[in-house]
Structures are given as C-alpha cells and as structure tokens.
Structure 1
C-alpha cells in the first residue's frame, strides 16, 4: 500500500501578494482551476494509494480540510504541527502514526506546492520505485536538469543498480553559476526535488540510527495523539522540544540505502514569479497573462490581473500582480526580493503580510469592503449548514443585512430568522451567533462600529470547530 504524505507547510513570502502567511501558495490555483494541493492529490489518481496524510500547521488546517473535501475525500488524515520543525520530524509523525495502526505502508512523500506537467510520467516513475521501497531502499526522485540552476540543491548519482536507478553518491548544496554549469555538463547530477519513497519502518529505523533525538521527540509527541474533528493533534511540548532538521541532513545523506531515480516530467517548485512565468502558457512575445489583461508592445512579462483590468504599454521583463488589496510591480530578474517587501510589512504589522482582503474560515469567508477610523464593512458568506461561534465583542457593535439566503441569528436572548433585505443590530457586549440553516450560501453585509475593530476582540463561548479553549 502506498500512503501519500503531503507536506503542506509554507510561509507565503515568495509569491506575495498572491500568497500570504495565512494563505500560502499550495492553497492557490496557480497552474489550473485547482489549488496546487488539490493538483498534488489528483495527479496520483492512476496509482493505488490510500487516503493521503497531510502535515500542516494550525493556521492552515481548515483551508486544507476544505480543499480536500471538495475533491470528495473524506478519510484523509491531517496532522497538525504545533510549530515548524522541518521535514525529518514531519515525516516521522506520519510514519509513527502508520506503524501504531499496525501498518507498514510505503510512504510517498510529496510537497503540496510543486507543478508536474506530465502526471502519467510521474506516476510511472513512482510505480517503478515500488520494488526498491519494498527491498528497504530509501528512494528520492532527482529532477533531470534543463539548465544550470543555482536555486536548487543537487544529487550526484553513483553506481547504476537497475534501469534508470542509481545509488546516491552525494547530496550537494545550491551551487554558484560556474559549479551549476559543471554539474549540468557532467550528466551525473539531478535537482533535488524533495520527493521521497520508502517503507515507514525503514525510515524510522534510519532515523533511530542517525537522529535518535528526533525519533524520541516525535515518538513522545505521537504518544499523546488527540483527534479533533478532521485533525490529529500531537503533544505540543514534546514536539516543540524536537530538533529542527531536514530529511536530507537527518537521514538521506547518512543512510547506505539511498537510491535516486531520474524524473523528467515537467517539474517545477514554482518558487517565485519567474518560475510561475515559465510554467504558464505564453504568447508569441513571451508574455504570460492571467485574468483580464490588455497589452501593447509588451514582451516577456507576467501579469496576474486579479479582479481588475490590467493594461500594459511598452514594457518588458516585468512581473505585475494585482490583488484586491495590493499591487506588485517588479523586474523579472529582481522578483526574488519580494521577500524583503514581506519582511517590511511584517515589521510594520501590516495585515497584508498575513491575510488577503478575503479571509477564509471553516464556516465560509469574509471580504473587507471598506474601513475607516471607527467602522468596517464586510461581506460575509456562510456555507449551508455552517454556524459561526457563539461570541461577544467588548468594543464593537454590528449591524447585519441579509443579501441572499436565510440567516438564523441569536441576538441576546432572542432567536431570529432573517431573509433577504431583513436586518438586525447587535449591541456591544451582547452574546450572539449566526447560522445558515438553508441549502444555499448565506450572503450578508456586516457593518461594524466601535473603538476597536480587530479580529482579536472575539470572546467565544461555543464553537463547533474547536476554537474555544
């Protein structure tokens, strides 16, 4: 049995403003109508796999769960990391959990934010790796390089042990341009994809041998597993005490059983806007346009229009990204420096660092339409059957106007059913709740007023999503 283990962490810095820390690129539909996480799962459809295990953090848990649910998958496991501790501990959590269930599956470790254009080729290569994994080998998939890339680590192959299967001679860090060209010319080096395949027991054996401290911390963390809705929580203190290390350093560089299989299937980690430009379809002038774009004399430019018309005249080698609340304009060769912009936003405590204007919640979403010194206007969408927490605010009052659908409102000691064009007022300090009892989405406009309008002015009393501590 193959158990896909999908690493779904991310900081949302390299593709800002498309991605944010609370909504990183794996949840965004960058290369198709599906998110990159969804594409990662869908490309496995021709393989015989069990339901996937996702490793993600607390902030992204509801987004990940909802995106998996939309694929019709209701039996996935979502392991929540209290803190990020890199890939070696994350994979250990999945392996230990599988072994505790008296299973020893082949783990197919994947990143949630990679693009692979030829899914059939990828699945065939994975299929070819199964016998090696069953023999106790630790397989990594090396990307056949197309150019002298300095942004990736490399894997040097050793002796051939089968058709297009090689022992790993060594892993090397990101090279300078001259060294990268030497790697390319030699034909012996592959890009390190960060994708792996091995039996759960073999990974744990190697981890015990080379990093017993990581194994001990993860074993202790999984010893106090706490199911919570669709999520699996681990012991927070134990996992926080776990060393931070990658699978490359902790296991793959030390084991005697590492094998590399070349993969040539149109892979990209979409690690920045230059990479996004490369994977998108381009016109005769080398432009990649997403959304409503009109251009004149424009060359080699990426434009992401968002919800507005974007026009360009007489420009080339640019990245232009428009979202509801931010615009990025960068030279294509400089777009990696967008992380410096994100650092400035974080230092200034700007909300654009963390959130888009539209924020997703387990019950639906809200879009901040307008705000001033003592007011804020939001459009709220509540999914059928969903309910916001029973809550109260110390500093703000709220006025709700139903635009479409039906709302069941708790307002103090009253329960009110509201339909289109009806409204209610929630005074400061009054306990209230909002529910959609219908079968279609509920849309309403919320007008907040008061001395403080931050999202942390919420006192929750009841919550079906486990957010009451």
Structure 2
C-alpha cells in the first residue's frame, strides 16, 4: 500500500482578483467556480486519489498565521479532517515551505509520497486529474520526482513551460516522459512556436515525490535553504494541529521557489524528473478574464453571478455581492461589486488590477486587506456604518464560541442583542443578555463576549471614541492563541 500525504500550499494573495480577493481573504478561499472554494476543491481532489493500492492521509497545509482558522473551517465544511497546518510567520516562497512539509512527514519514521499542489487552481475534469496523479504516485513511490505538465491549448505567455524529452514522440512508458528542461515565460511568438512544435507543457506547480527524495535533492542544489529550514523546524512550537516554526529562524531562510531552488537543476542530474501530462481543464484563475473563461455563460457570452440585469451586452463578467448591477449596451467588461468597492475593467486589461492594489497598499487603505464583512474563528463581523467618532458593526458568534478577554484604549462600546443569548464579561461582572437587551462597555474596561447557546448569537455593536481601528485591542486571554 502506497502511503500518500496531500500537501496544499495556501500562500499567495491573488491581487489580480481584487476586490473579491484580499489579503485577509485571498482567492484560494473564494467560491469562484461551483459551490466550494478553490481550496476546498483542491482538498477534495486530493482525498479522491485513494484506491486499492493508495492510502491517502489527512492533508497538510502550509499557510500564514492569519488564515489558519479559515482553512480549517473550510475543510470541516466539506468533511475533511485537517492533518497538520504548518504556519509560516512570513512568506519565504515554496522551497522552504516544501522543506518544512518533508521534515514534518519524516518525523514518525515514515516516508510518504507527497502530492503537492497550490490551493488556488481549478480543474474542470477531476476524473482525468485523478488518473494522472495516481500514475505519478506510482512513479514517485519508486523514488522518482514527478511533475504534472498541463497540456497547452493556446500560446500562453503567463506560464513557465516544461520541455519534455519525447524521443521521437515515444514516452518512457505509457504517458510518462523525461523532463528535458524548464523554460521561462515566453513572448507570444515563442509560445506559438512551443504550441506548434509540441513537447512543451505548462508548469502548474504540482509535484509528486517522496519526502526523503525532496530533502536529498534540496541538500544537493540548495543546502543553505535546507540548513536554515532545519534550524527553524527545530525551534518549532506545536499547538494541536497547528505547528509554528521558529519565527526568527524562519525569517532567516532564503526566499526561493521550488523551481529555482531545485527543479530546474534536476534534468540531466542524479535527480532526473519525470512528467505526466495533465489534460483536465486546468486553470489557475490568475485574473478576471480567466474566471470568465471557466464560468457558465448565456447565449451572449455573459457570465453573471449575483443580482444582475443586462440588455444588449455581450461577453461580460459580473460578480455582484451585495446589490443590483445593471449593464446596458456594453461588451467585454468585467464588473466586480462588493459592499465597499466596485471594479470596472475591460477583460483584456484585467491583469492590470494589480496596479490598483499597489495604490491601495501605498495609501494604506483597508480595502486592500479586509472586506467589510470579516470572518474570524469565532464567527464574523460586518462594519455597516461609520463616521469620524463612531462605527456600527453587526456581529455573529458561533454556538459555544467566544471572543477574547480584551480592552480598548480609545473606544467604548454599546452592545444590543438581536438573536440568541450573550454571556458578557464586563469588568468584574458577568451577565446574560437575550433578545432586545443591551449593555455598555466603558473605555478601558476588560470585557468578553461569548455565546453559551446552541444557535448563533447576533448583536449590534456601536463603537464611539477618538480612534476606532482594529489594532486598538489588548487581548488578555484567547481561545485561539491570539493573546498579546
């Protein structure tokens, strides 16, 4: 029985899919195709790899600290148990991430086959994906490094390519080729040449190999990264499924991708790479025009999600989150509406959304980081109104969940219970409030909001004070490890 550990790399902010994708809620956690997020789809595809000869363990995810509960909650929603969440204190690219995974996988004396995939891709034909990856797993079990090469259907300039050694079009064996070289993103003329010549495949960043093989390869080609990652791993702290490498040690690791650190050096070396072609409707949804391509469309080529009306409009993409969007006589437009931002761009320029995100970052605007509705491990809050000295939030707390014991230096708060039961700590008092009851939290008072009931608790919070930023929180106790 081949032991397989699925690995989902959850880094990346998906800036080209702003305003739906933001730093606090990046594209891998969005439902852009179907009813599950891209991350959930990736987890389900990997879980489906098991058969009579392949045993698939619970997934390992590599994520930032801010997304740990979002990822674990989305796995719970689709009935998949989290194996381990390796939480990077800062992004150091994919080579250190995969090295962490390999070190973790070898901890118990096992040496599983790692099936490594980004979290933010979509596959139109999961059955074809399963067949290709199962074939790659069989090869990896024998000690080979295997990469999935996406069969190109157009001269794409946005991806790196894999050059397969076809030996007069004959594979090593059925559907398995030797990788001759990795090539950079080409210009259009070169991409057209690759397509006409054949033997070139898109590099989708999906690898299959044993944990020990990865460590041996990175020791050969990037020993500094291996040594620094070992040091960070040795300084790790574990909190159930959450594992945090040493912060200072991890920040000292050179930032490098799997491709640059190892894979591009492997062809012709002691670590040759094999490739299994993947023809399964792969798309990395890198920008809004790619989302339009994979969405179902009407007879005029329009792909619309949400409350949308249109007349005499063609080949448009609209994603309406909170209100009606109407189109009249337009073509080839992308309109993305959220509660606090609206994007309008031509499909041909959708890659340039990153320039707007850069402006938001430079101006330190919250629209780059958070949605108006923000998800937390205990529930969510929606900032529905604010002025110079007040803010109004709608807050929902999950059953049996609680916020941290905290205080604020610059604001007081009024809480009104809308539905459910609230257990409120206010200084040295603990009180229970139900529907239509309210209380006042003075500035500087230690307080906590909890839901002791079996249904969601919803309250309206009115903040007042000189500063209402989310960073004005001093946490004393927290169920989710966020205390100051």
| TM-score, normalising length: structure 1 | 0.98
SS in 1 for 2:322: coil
1:400-454 superposed Cα distances (whole Å, 9 cap, x missing partner) = 0000010000111111101111110101111110000001110000000011111
**From 136, 139, 147, the counterpart of 2:143:** 136
CA contact (8 A) 2:75 2:82 kept: no
3-state DSSP of counterpart to 1:457? coil
Whole-Å separation in 1 of the counterparts to 2:136 and 2:13: 31
Q: Which residue of 1 aligns with 2:265?
A: 254
Distance in 1, matches of 2:409 and 2:138, equals: 61
Per the alignment, residue 45 of structure 1 pairs with 47
Deviations 1:277-324 (A, max 9, x none): 001011111111111111101011101111211110100010000001
Work out whether residues 72 and 82 of structure 2, in 8 Å CA contact, stay in contact via their aligned partners in 1: no
Give the drift of 1:186. 0.7
Contact 2:384 2:392 (C-alpha < 8 Å) held by counterparts: yes
Is residue 2:89 matched to residue 1:89? no
**Aligned pair partner of 1:24 in 7, 26, 34:** 26
Query: Contact 2:9 / 2:117 at 8 angstroms: preserved in 1?
Result: yes
Native 8 Å contact 1:110 1:194 kept in 2: yes
- Is 1:241 matched up with 2:248? no
CA RMSD of aligned residues (A): 1.0
What's the offset of the Cα at 1:72? 2.7
2:394 and 2:458 in contact (8 A); partners too: yes
Q: What is the rounded CA distance, in whole Å, between the counterparts of 1:428 and 1:46 in structure 2? A: 52
- The residue aligned with 1:413 is 428
Instruction: Give 1:62 deviation, angstroms.
Output: 1.7
Mapped partners of 2:476, 2:211: distance in 1: 41
Q: State the partner residue of 2:53.
A: none
Query: Which residue of 431, 434, 451 maps to 1:436?
Result: 451
Do the aligned partners of 1:12 and 1:23 also contact (CA within 8 Å) in 2? Answer: no
Q: How does 1:177-196 map to 2 (within 5 A)?
A: 177-196=188-207
1:350 offset after TM fit, Å? 0.7
Change (3 A) 1:110 1:429: same
After superposition, where does 1:2-151 map in structure 2 within 5 Å?
Answer: 2-48=4-50, 49-151=56-158
User: Aligned to 2:396, what secondary structure does the other structure show?
Assistant: strand
Q: Which residue in 1 is equivalent to 2:475?
A: 460
Matched, 1:355 2:370: yes
Provide the C-alpha distance between the structure 2 equivalents of 1:71 and 1:11, rounded to a whole number of angstroms: 23
Alignment of 1:360-371 (within 5 A): 360-371=375-386
**Helix, strand or coil: the match of 1:93?**
helix
Q: Tell me, which stretches of 5 or more residues in structure 1 are unaligned? A: none
Q: Does 1:400 align with 2:415?
A: yes
Deviation of residue 139 (structure 1)?
0.5
SS at structure 2 position matched to 1:100: coil
Query: For residues 75 and 280 of structure 1, what CA distance do their matches in structure 2 show?
Result: 29
Residue 73 of structure 1 deviates from its aligned partner by 3.0
Is the contact between residue 385 and residue 437 of structure 1 (CA under 8 Å) also seen in structure 2? yes
2:161 aligned partner: 154
CA displacement at 1:456 relative to structure 2: 1.0
The alignment partner of 1:421 has SS state of coil
SS in 2 for 1:253: helix
Aligned equivalents of 1:393 and 1:244: distance in 2?
37
3-state SS, counterpart of residue 162 of structure 1: coil
The count of residues paired between Structure 1 and Structure 2 equals 469
- SS class of match (1:43): helix
In structure 1, the partner of 2:403 is 388
